[in-house]
């Protein structure tokens, strides 16, 4: 059987495959772990090699099984390392882009918040008070009306006026 495994591999049976696996798994794993420095990745690489061998068993004509398997694990490990490097570069690009976008958005939020606060502060006193009670303190129109001794209709008017002033201040018509 051993001679058969080294010369030709046209007819891989379940038994001969098990023999190959038992004979070469540790060596292939050791080689893969040496290159990847990651046990799980090395296991996955070796598993892929044997899976591929099994799936293509009817189409292979291998003269030297050991050499074939070692070359396969070497190529698969190099592919893994290249893909890992590419993934890391993409991850770094995404992180740096996201961080820049986030920082830009934070600056924009601060600027917008400052602009809104300035616009609210520039409103007439009663309008400003009603708007702040509604938006900042979360009071209902009825509660504001009761507290300021004005009608609910007046509260609606002041909120509408404040929103209109904010809209004009934030989105000026050119």
Structure tokens at 65: 């099984």
Torsion of Cα atoms, 25 then 30 then 35 then 37, to 10°: 110
C-alpha 168/C-alpha 51 separation (Å) is 67
Could you tell me the pLDDT band of residue 86, with boundaries at 50, 70 and 90?
confident
Global confidence as pTM: 0.46
CA distances from 29 to 16, 68, 165 (A): 19, 15, 71
pLDDT, mean over the chain: 85
C-alpha 106/C-alpha 164 separation (Å) is 25
Report the share of the chain in percent with pLDDT over 90.
47
Torsion of Cα atoms, 96 then 101 then 103 then 104, to 10°: 140
CA-based nearest residue to 86, from 96, 75, 78: 78
Just give the CATH number of 2-92.
1.10.1740.10
CA distances from 165 to 109, 124, 170 (A): 19, 11, 8
Q: Where in the chain is the domain with CATH 1.10.1740.10?
A: 2-92
Average pLDDT over residues 84-92: 81
Pick the more confident residue, 164 or 62: 164
Could you tell me the pLDDT band of residue 84, with boundaries at 50, 70 and 90?
confident
C-alpha 79/C-alpha 91 separation (Å) is 18
Q: What is the pLDDT of residue 66?
A: 85
Q: In this predicted model, what pLDDT tens digit does every residue of 159-169 receive, in sequence order? A: 999 999 999 99
Q: Where in the chain is the domain with CATH 1.10.10.10?
A: 95-170
Whole-angstrom Cα Rg for the chain: 36
Q: Which CATH architecture has domain 95-170?
A: Orthogonal Bundle (1.10)
Q: In this predicted model, what pLDDT tens digit does every residue of 90-147 receive, in sequence order? A: 887 777 776 666 777 888 889 989 999 999 999 999 999 999 999 999 999 999 999 9
Q: How many residues are there in the chain? A: 174
User: How many C-beta atoms surround the C-beta of residue 12 within 10 A?
Assistant: 19
Highest mean pLDDT among 51-65, 70-84, 88-102, 126-140: 126-140
Q: What is the pLDDT of residue 14?
A: 82
Pick the more confident residue, 170 or 10: 170
Residue 38 · residue 91 · CB < 8 Å: no
């Amino acid at each position: 059987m051993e001679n058969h495994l080294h010369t030709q591999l046209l007819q891989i049976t379940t038994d001969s495959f098990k023999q190959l696996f038992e004979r070469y798994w540790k060596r292939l794993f050791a080689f893969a772990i040496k290159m990847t420095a990651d046990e799980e990745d090395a296991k996955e690489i070796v598993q892929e090699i044997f899976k591929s061998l099994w799936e293509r068993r009817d189409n292979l004509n291998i003269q030297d099984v050991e050499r074939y398997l070692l070359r396969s694990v070497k190529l698969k490990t190099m592919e893994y390392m290249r893909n890992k490097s590419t993934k890391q570069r993409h991850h770094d690009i995404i992180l740096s882009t996201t961080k820049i976008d986030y920082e830009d958005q934070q600056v924009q939020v601060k600027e917008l918040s400052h602009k809104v606060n300035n616009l609210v502060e520039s409103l007439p006193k009663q309008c400003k008070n009603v708007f702040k009670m509604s938006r900042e303190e979360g009071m209902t129109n009825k509660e504001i009306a009761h507290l300021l001794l004005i009608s609910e209709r007046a509260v609606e008017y002041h909120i509408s006026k404040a929103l209109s002033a904010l809209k004009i201040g934030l989105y000026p018509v050119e």
